[in-house]
Structure 1
Amino acid sequence: MDFALILFVLLLLTAVIKLLDKVVLKPRRTEKYGQEQEDYRPWWVEYSISFFPVILFVFVLRSFVVEPFRIPSGSMLPTLQDGDMILVNKFNYGIRLPIVDQKIIPLGNPRKGDVVVFRYPVNTDIDYIKRIVGVPGDTVAYVGKRLFINGEAVETTALGPYVNPSQQAGNPLKLQEQVDGKSYEILNMPGDGAYLSGRQFPFAQNCEYAATDFKCTVPEGHYFVMGDNRDNSEDSRYWGFVPDNYLVGKAFFVWMNFGDLGRIGSIK
């Protein structure tokens, strides 16, 4: 069951019990026990009243402000590592109703270069994290392991080998890309990329594939995302576009990594 739904059910349950106690149970206890009625409050009422403000605070914080996530893989290396615990800004792209994920107050739009958490289009029970490289109307191409947006090659600078055998085997090359004034690092492995032809997903007709290369036009209300670890990331190249209402929020802070405390505070 979805954690947000569990929190909502607990919030509703404790709120009902709190209201029931105030309107019905407390007057009965006062009539029976006088001013000492609080000493006779049932345990389930006691716990509900005590936990209600805590659950309310967590629900509001998680639904509208920030939500924690743990990075489970190396698909976003070198920006994020397996084991990073991150915070996601929930209101950066607008206020959404919890549970139904319906946007009610638009506050801003995702931009190319943003690292976002979203519900995996193939299985919405799973959360993914990738970087947006294409917004509605953009034509995104990946040719010879080089990213192109609207026909122009993304500015790319080689930074040398990336050495972190505990996170990524092989001999990856670290590069810096710059999109819309935002710089970030990516990894490319030696050799050809993955074979991409024959992919099927909503709006697949917007894409053209040629072995390891592709070109896609992003439909309205959708985004094209890629992992920074380009040869070790299952992303929009494989399963298509991310609908706007699947976005959870923008990742902005690494708050903990028990294997490497120096990771705290890092993200781009």
Structure 2
Amino acid sequence: MFRKKTLTARKPLKPRKSPLREWLDSIFFAVIAATLIRFLTVEAYAIPTPSMENSLMVGDFLFVSKLHYGIRTPKTPLQVPLTHQKIWGTNIPSYSTAIQLPSFRLPGFTHVKNGDVVVFNYPPAKPNEPAYPTDLKTNFIKRCIGIPGDVLEIRQEQVYINGKVLPVPTRSETSYFIKTTEVLDERFFRKYDIVNDFKSEEGPFINWQPLEAYNDSTKTSFLVGYRVNTTLDVINKFRSFDWIKGIDPIADQAGQPDARIYGSSAYNWNQDNFGPLNVPKKGTTIPINKQTIALYGPLIERYEDNKKVELTPTSIRIDGQSIANYTFKLDYYFMMGDNRHNSEDSRYWGFVPEDHIVGKAVFVWMSLDPVPADIWHKIRWSRVGRLIN
């Protein structure tokens, strides 16, 4: 007997992808993967200004963890992947506000603590800048000084939290007046990472400048004076030079008001003497008066999702009703730069709402000197791989 042969139809072969199609598919999946990593785990940032020197330097590239404080769900989902505010190299917005979603924060490893270096969305609207949604506001990086419920005070530059001294960051910078018999130049200051090369939207950053030349009190020698912004370690090195005749800290005096300072309409505060004030905590109730309006009125008006807020120096009306007290709906944080006299921070524009927190700065993966002495010193190898603390 003979077996019948069964005939099976061959499956048609799929047409082979063209090289262009394979290349486009690879790019598509790479963009999706990078977008998910950026949203779910870590994101890369670069330091553009000296406000965190010497802890973080201009030209540092760092990774910021979204996992530490919990992933923040996007408020503005219609956005070109891997962009922030504009399409690369153009002034074309990279997003649409046609859909705006409520933002939530998933559970994280930890909470923001005093001393953490934090990336956040700059809360107030910047001059000549569009009113971006919360998750697309300009990113800032500062050190968290006060957390919700803290009582914060600055006395002669020293920060106190709940009456206790908050340790000064090891690499933080502040201002000194140096008297010397030598004329110092850019080359000298650059050896100690004291440079004036940086231009920023935050303002001019002058880390050294000659102030005056004069005879000392004995009339025996001619002295040159310099204002220098640097670390305590560098100042201690300067003290060993016999041609430096004096080093004095430069700080504003208590009671000397500064109109640029947050709350200045009701308090005689300045950058070195600030507070005491309470950092708002969700569920905390405050009375409404001139003093509390100066500190917390902008929060009630801008960030608490209240309808029709009418704010005056002495009263607040919400949805047409005058209020005598107010209970906060959000937690808030107080941020400062480690470069204490060269930082635009909470002393000038106020508190950071919890929903503006982006993540925790973890470590520096690359550091490039923006104006190196020569090409061989472009990479600052001593900073590569440095943990941020």
Q: Is contact 1:225–1:241 with CA below 8 Å preserved after alignment?
A: yes
Partner of 2:144: 132
Structure 1 residue 190: Cα displacement: 3.4
Q: Runs of 5+ in structure 2 lacking a partner?
A: 1-11, 77-102, 126-135, 177-188, 197-206, 209-226, 234-247, 282-330, 370-379
Equivalent pairs counted in the alignment come to: 218
SS of residue in 1 equivalent to 2:26 = helix
Question: Counterparts of 1:113-124 in structure 2 under 5 Å?
Answer: 113-123=115-125
Aligned residue number for residue 147 of structure 1: 159
Tell me which residue corresponds to 1:73: 49
Indicate the SS of the match to 2:249: coil
CA-CA distance at 1:64 after TM superposition: 1.1
Distance 1:116 1:217, change over 3 A: same
Residues 157-211 of structure 1 show CA distances to partners (whole Å, capped at 9, x for unaligned) of 99998932226324335359xxxxxxxxxxxx932249544645xxx59x85434
- What amino acid is the match of 2:341? D
Gap regions ≥5 residues in structure 1? 1-33, 177-188
Q: Give, as a single letter, the amino acid of the residue that structure 2 aligns with 1:217.
A: N
* DSSP 3-state at the match of 2:335: strand
What amino acid does structure 2 have at the position aligned with 1:128? F
Deviations 1:56-82 (A, max 9, x none): 210111001110111011110110001
Q: Give TM-score, length-normalised by structure 1.
A: 0.70
Per-residue Cα deviation, 1:210-266 (whole angstroms, up to 9, x for no partner): 344211211121100100010110100000011111111000111111222321122
Structure 2 CA distance for partners of 1:57 and 1:46, relative to 1, 3 Å: same
* Structure 1 range deviating more: 149-158 or 106-115: 149-158
Higher strand share: 1
Q: How do 1:102-251 residues align onto structure 2 when only pairs under 5 Å count?
A: 102-123=104-125, 125-155=137-167, 163-166=192-195, 168-169=207-208, 170-172=227-229, 174-175=231-232, 190-193=249-252, 196-197=258-259, 199=261, 208-212=267-271, 213-215=273-275, 216-220=277-281, 221-251=331-361
Rounded to whole Å, the distance in 2 between the matches of 1:244 and 1:138 is 15
Provide the C-alpha distance between the structure 1 equivalents of 2:270 and 2:68, rounded to a whole number of angstroms.
37
- Does structure 2 retain, via aligned residues, the 8 Å contact 1:115–1:250? yes
Write the distance in 2 (CA, Å) between the matches of 1:81 and 1:173. 12
Change (3 A) 1:265 1:229: same
Asked if the contact 2:169–2:338 (Cα under 8 Å) also holds between the matched residues in 1, the reply is no
Once the two structures are TM-superposed, the CA of residue 148 in structure 1 deviates from its matched residue by: 1.0
Give the residue type in structure 2 aligned to 1:89: S
Counterpart of 1:35?
13
Sequence identity percentage: 34
Aligned partner letter, 2:279:
V
Change (3 A) 1:132 1:175: farther
The reply on whether 1:261 has 2:381 as its aligned counterpart is yes
Whether the 8 Å CA contact 1:172–1:190 is kept in 2: the answer is no
Q: Tell me the SS of whatever aligns to 2:64.
A: strand
TM-fit CA distance, 1:108: 2.2
Which deviates further from its counterpart, 116-125 or 63-72? 116-125
- Structure 1, 147-156 or 232-241: larger mean CA deviation: 147-156
TM superposition outliers: structure 1 runs of 4+ over 4 Å: 45-48, 155-162, 197-200
Question: What TM-score, normalized to structure 2?
Answer: 0.50
> Could you tell me how far apart the structure 2 residues matched to 1:199 and 1:145 are?
14
CA distance in structure 2 between the aligned counterparts of 1:158 and 1:91, rounded to whole angstroms: 26
Rg: which structure is higher? Answer: 2
**Cα gap change, 1:36/1:147 in structure 2, threshold over 3 Å: closer, same or farther?**
closer
Distance 1:59 1:76, change over 3 A: same
In the aligned structure 1, how far is the partner of 2:63 from the partner of 2:169? 29
CA RMSD after TM alignment: 3.3
Of stretches 61-70 and 50-59 in structure 1, the one that deviates more from structure 2 is 50-59
